Structure 1
């Protein structure tokens, strides 16, 4: 379920102090002090809660059946396998008597989102954070499985993709390129450009012998950083709703795009360099796969921005013209 694109969201709705007090009391988490809706991430599903025993995140009204069980599976396994700063314990209340839906309570991780401090960072701080991000991803991607697919909470098993991982990813890209025709012009040249890129990378995907954990939505909104003993560290990672098992390097793409948009391309190169050094992955094969991961993300972004009428680039550019500079960044790594 997590690998499906979710455009809508189940919001928290109206929550009063009495209901939150009962949620906290049910799990012996203290008395309610204050609460505020989050303004980033989790598709409107979360709010921060301060109690007499600590700070927590409430996540409610699941987007699909099994969302919370699936996320707990990933978080608990990563917590057992790594020392990453994860939101554990991840407490699920399956009872719907308080508000009409199940919900999660988890500890709030201390720190700040990178985009909130980016402009104040010195060069040394930027490099520290890039290195920490690379370390976090390298550690996550050490969790491996022979099955390329996603966890299904009903069967409590990893369900393989219906076809090979490469064919699944190819079909996904072509589907969203076709869907983009509803909102924009997609030419035959755009389609051929896309197909050529995909086929050129086939051998790099065929070289994958085992699947790695993929967070699926690793971006500045889903982790926080904090300065600890004078060094910047990733102090919290959250929102594993889009996780699955495939090619871990996909998790680099949204951070690449973040730095590209900030006109900090040198940090794209640094993130790639440190990640390759830590994982010892084949550099050229990884670059070939990253071109497709970048293509995939940009297809989704193109369709989304066109549908919303929120285009921020030259609207006269064709899809292939628009995406080529991003592909070039990968090829230059």
Structure 2
């Protein structure tokens, strides 16, 4: 029986295992599997059967990852026109691979996570794709909820944000450092954002000397200047918290491009939709500030900004940068000046003016 190493996360898999997974959901006979050379965590494999093209996603990062992704994918499928991989089949048992797995349809379109694909795109095509991402993000946010909160697989429902669980997420509270709350504390979306920024930065201090108290004070000054803006009412909607080119595919329609598939919803929750501008805007800014401008303007053309947008943009960008910075410090990843602290790295992103978006 043929076996092959597909990724560090998934390990060596055999054709027989793929066949067993397909049979479990009556998805045809196994034809071939293809390792995916892009993406950060190596959870996915392209699988072809006699019934179609699929993605196998395995070895979850945390308990409830797949049921969380299934929950938000189902809602997007049922309540919006956003293309998502549905059905999203979950086998919670470990008997085939040694870990639970998902099988879902492979979405048609260009894989923008593939650097080789992006290298082939012309400047005009990149601009059209940035516009499509902004419009699609606005469309995703047609999925709303009565209150801000997160889906919890253990309860099978969306619950309002609780500060202790939110700071520990996605691990259990007992596994997280720096937490000492004696009981649950309900928290507003704004307070959750602020608490996560400070928590991520303080936690990053344990991994290197590149997060200083001066960095935290700098972040707190931005937060203080945005207090009024953060209190501006909003209708809670889907926030993916990792919205970027790498988590979707696109197709061309004449001179226009459209998002033809969105996936990887494990960090999703319901909150202020403006927060989902941060990651893609920063990545576009690094490549070409004009792409960032096109992306943000396309979004705002569909979802006009509320009062205080500029101040909230800074705080939401701080959160996104703090999440990534924490991960980079923990993982010992760095591709910038070794002497830089968090402020040195993040300051170019945290205002509309600094990014040339004002």
Query: By the TM > 0.5 criterion, same fold?
Result: yes
1:69 equivalent in structure 2:
67
2:125 equivalent in structure 1:
125
Contact 2:80–2:142, Cα closer than 8 Å, also in 1: no
* Counterpart check, 1:215 vs 2:240: yes
Q: Against the structure 1 CA distance between its residues 140 and 330, is the aligned structure 2 distance closer, same or farther, given a 3 Å change threshold?
A: farther
Q: Which moved more, 1:61-70 or 1:93-102?
A: 93-102
* Greater helix content: 1
Deviation string 1:163-220 (CA, Å, 9 cap, x unpaired) is: 1111111111111111222202433432221111112122222113331111111122
1:16 equivalent in structure 2:
14
In 2, Cα distance between equivalents of 1:98 and 1:125: 42
1:319 equivalent in structure 2:
342
1:255 equivalent in structure 2:
280
Gaps of 5+ in 1: 1-8
Q: Secondary structure at the match of 1:236?
A: strand
2:195 equivalent in structure 1:
171
In 1, Cα distance between equivalents of 2:97 and 2:120: 41
Q: Against the structure 1 CA distance between its residues 229 and 144, is the aligned structure 2 distance closer, same or farther, given a 3 Å change threshold?
A: same
Q: Secondary structure at the match of 2:205?
A: helix
Q: Secondary structure at the match of 2:348?
A: helix
Q: RMSD of aligned C-alpha atoms?
A: 2.2
Contact 2:76–2:140, Cα closer than 8 Å, also in 1: yes
Gaps of 5+ in 2: 1-6, 163-186
In 1, Cα distance between equivalents of 2:129 and 2:339: 37
Q: Against the structure 1 CA distance between its residues 291 and 116, is the aligned structure 2 distance closer, same or farther, given a 3 Å change threshold?
A: farther
* Counterpart check, 1:239 vs 2:267: no
Contact 2:210–2:339, Cα closer than 8 Å, also in 1: no
In 2, Cα distance between equivalents of 1:180 and 1:92: 34
In 2, Cα distance between equivalents of 1:172 and 1:102: 30
Q: Against the structure 1 CA distance between its residues 63 and 313, is the aligned structure 2 distance closer, same or farther, given a 3 Å change threshold?
A: closer
Q: Against the structure 1 CA distance between its residues 89 and 185, is the aligned structure 2 distance closer, same or farther, given a 3 Å change threshold?
A: closer
Question: How many pairs were matched up?
Answer: 323
Of the three residues 93, 100, 105, the one matched with 2:103 is: 105
Q: Which runs of at least 4 in structure 1 moved beyond 6 Å after TM superposition?
A: none
1:285 equivalent in structure 2:
308
